[in-house]
Amino acid sequence: MAWLILILSGVLEAVWASALGASKGFKKLWPTVIFFVAMTVSMIGLAYAMSELPTGTSYAVWVGIGATLTVTVSIIRGEERATIVRILLLLLLVGSIVGLKVVS
């Protein structure tokens, strides 16, 4: 159960990171609300996962999922370029996350 919550918390990290960018410095109401709600729930999930999983692994997986999804969404939206190197590095990051699960 801790792994599932950790993964969902990582997804919410991408949500709050994207909402933070869309809030334009907390000047837009709904992105700001989404940021605070997603960040709060994401942190609660991370805290729960850390109560059952090693702290380093939990944090690395949480950040890795959030970073990967945030970059992927930026590429899909056309805010960042999808280069071969960038895609390979994202795949390496996902592989590292899977590897941490496998060795845990």
pTM, full prediction: 0.90
Confidence (pLDDT) at 96: 94
7-52 pLDDT tens trace: 999 999 999 999 999 999 999 999 999 999 999 999 999 999 999 9
Q: Give me the phi and psi of 81, to 5 degrees please.
A: -85, 145
Residue 104 has pLDDT above 90, yes or no: no
pLDDT in tens, 67-96: 999 999 999 999 999 999 999 999 999 999
pLDDT confidence of residue 46: 98
